[in-house]
Amino acid sequence: MANDQLGAAFRLLTSKGFVSTGHRHGRRTFRGILNCSSLPISISLEISDWDFLVYPVIKILEYPSHLPALLPHLSSEGNLCYFAPGSIVLDRYNPATAIDQCLVQATDVLNKILEDSDYRIHDIQNEFLSHWLLDQGRIPWLVLKGTIDTAKVSTNYFIIGDDNNRKAIISDDVNEVEIIAGSLGFSKPKISKCKCWILHTEKFPAIPDNSLPKTVKELFEWLKSWDNILYVRFQNILEKEQEYLQYSFVTFAISSPVGWVGFGFDLDTITLLAAKKTAGKRGAKLYKQFLHGRGGVGNIFRVHIADISADFVHNRNLSFSDLKDKRIVLIGCGAIGGFLAQSLVRLGAGTGYRGELILIDPDTLAPDNLGRHVLGYSSLFKLKAVALRDELLKQFPLSRIFAEPINITKYSKLFASDLLIDATGEEAISEMLNASQIAKRPKAPPILHIWIVGNGEATQSLWVDSEKYGCFHCLRLPNTQNYREERYKILKAEPERGFIGCQAFTPYAVSASISAAALATDSIIDWIKGDPSPRFRTRGVENANIRQVKNQNISPLDGCVACRNA
């Protein structure tokens, strides 16, 4: 940072009434006032990174007494979150302007906090889990969450790992937990007799006037203000579910619009013994009465519930449905198919009750494949379908992925699927699949063909799903002087060909494989959303010497012997 740039920044702060309060190890701290619309706010400003990869820290020094204890964008230590990380790029060459941006934004955020109660409530609800997990004196207990039947009132605890790295999982599915434990390198999980009690609500959490609940009695009041039906169900568990009296603590997990909210509290030993001695179902009722009396002063602890279920993992980043419960058949596990299979699994292929991803390829991974394949040396000389399946299951062990290292003509369930993907890049195979799909209409599933053009100058895909649109064979013109002339010409020159012995191959870089997989993925996403248009797509490399081909739904070609029988 040049001295004149630093000088400009310091002059700006001085002009705004800020004074320097420290300079240690590259950190400069200033104290001053933000002139908010309703009252001035005293703050400290700490700058530790003059590249502004980390925004300056603004801390509220004097908390406004008329405001509630719980505020959005403000930590319990008084640190103000005024820019979301990475949302704004501050100019490292103009630190004065960068600092001024921070102060203006901080003032704007504080004005909203001070004046708009609806803004306060809405923003706290949106970032509720951050407050729930951080606004307390102790680190929350981490519990992983697997698949849970929403109709059940409780689920099981499992313990995986060793004493140095133990983790708790709540799940209804012991097989799921065993798979997760194995993928993490742990031995067989141990089931705990302790239960986690499950509740559900469609309402956003209530925001208390003061702090979030810290005692059992405060918890009761908070749940009642949040959702009275939720509160009643919670009280019913305390009164009627005798099983929780067998343990020294009880925990709950609430499924809500903001995510899973977890909490628990220790059970009083003396009262617990008395409750256990009470006959019938009166023991739980007795303990509930204790909690509503002097037991209500006991502290609660909060639970950090980290969802690792397949539904959450594959849906979390999507604004649309995933491939859950879809049966996907991928033909070709080579350069394109390898990268495409990774995308399919991340989109949820192989999850759900009937979901499956079937990988078909009879070939082995050879040394000449490695330069543009998703697999590496550890898979060398292994069957591509098997090696790809094994690699995907390492990453996503809960997915149902099957390898069929056979010729496609020997796979009898080829069209017993929701989607068939042809990633072979071999035109003869594509023509055969096209003919078979047409013969099975209207019961045949859609088929997506994906291929690389030339030496990677472009990638193309064609979605074939009905007689209304052109088939794969419609991409070649019939009865022309040039045999099998392309309907949509893209290359301006013949591609290079390589030869090793009598074996020919088309050289292209790994980027072409990745681009083709991305193009196919985008087409599949549009299908998930309800419309795979444009069915014929072309994606060219920026500097490639190619013709422009329009993305479109192609019409059937007059005289096409495949789909028109002319």
Q: Mind listing the pLDDT tens digit for each residue in 415-439?
A: 999 999 999 999 999 999 999 999 9
Q: What backbone torsions phi and psi does residue 458 show, to the nearest 5 degrees? A: -160, 165
Q: What is the mean pLDDT of the chain?
A: 90
Which band of pLDDT confidence, cut at 50, 70 and 90, is reported for residue 498?
Answer: low
Question: How far is residue 97's CA from residue 335's CA, in Å, rounded to a whole number?
Answer: 49
For residue 135, pLDDT over 70 is answered with no
357: pLDDT strictly greater than 50: yes
Does 442 sit behind a cis peptide bond, omega within 30 degrees of 0 on the bond before it?
yes
pLDDT of residue 501 exceeding 70, the answer is no
| pLDDT interval class at 474 (50, 70, 90) | very high
| Least trusted range by pLDDT, from 68-77, 149-158, 377-386, 493-502 | 493-502
Q: Range with the lowest mean pLDDT among 84-88, 121-125, 132-136, 252-256?
A: 132-136
DSSP letter (8 states) at residue 396: -
- The answer to whether residue 373 scores a pLDDT higher than 90 is yes
Whether residue 281 has pLDDT greater than 80: no
Q: Percent of the chain scored above 90 by pLDDT?
A: 65
- Contact at 8 Å (CB) between 327 and 416? yes
Q: What is the pLDDT at residue 72?
A: 84
Question: 195 falls in which pLDDT band (50, 70, 90)?
Answer: very high
Whole-number Å distance between alpha carbons of 558 and 565: 9
Statement: the pTM of the whole predicted model exceeds 0.85: no
pLDDT of 301 > 60? The answer is yes
pLDDT of residue 503: 54
Average pLDDT over residues 485-491: 91
| Residue 546 pLDDT greater than 80, yes or no | yes
List, in order, residues 6 or more apart from 263 with CB less than 8 Å away: 219, 251, 252, 300, 301, 302, 303
**Contact criterion met (CB below 8 Å) for 358 and 337:** no
CA quadruple 162, 165, 171, 173: dihedral positive or negative? negative
pLDDT tens digits, 29-66: 999 999 998 889 999 999 999 999 999 999 999 877 77
Contacts 24+ apart (CB under 8 A), 290-297: 291/216, 291/217, 291/220, 291/238, 292/217, 292/220, 295/216, 295/268, 295/271, 296/215, 296/216, 296/217, 296/220, 297/215, 297/216, 297/217
Residue 63 pLDDT: 78
Give me Rg for the CA atoms of the chain.
Answer: 31
Do the beta carbons of residue 422 and residue 430 sit within 8 Å? yes
More confident residue, 272 or 95: 95
Q: For 268-279, what is the HEC assignment?
A: CHHHHHHHHHCC
For residue 566, what pLDDT is reported? 44
pLDDT at position 502 over 50: no
**Contacts of 421 by beta carbon, 8 Å cutoff, 6+ apart:** 328, 329, 330, 331, 337, 340, 447, 448, 450, 520
E strands within 247-295? Answer: 249-256, 259-266
Asked if pLDDT for residue 540 goes beyond 50, the answer is: yes
Q: What is the pLDDT of residue 480?
A: 66
211 forms bridges with which residues in the sheet? none
Given phi > 0 = left and psi -120 to 50 = alpha, else beta, which region is 225?
Answer: alpha
Q: What mean pLDDT do residues 448-465 have? A: 95
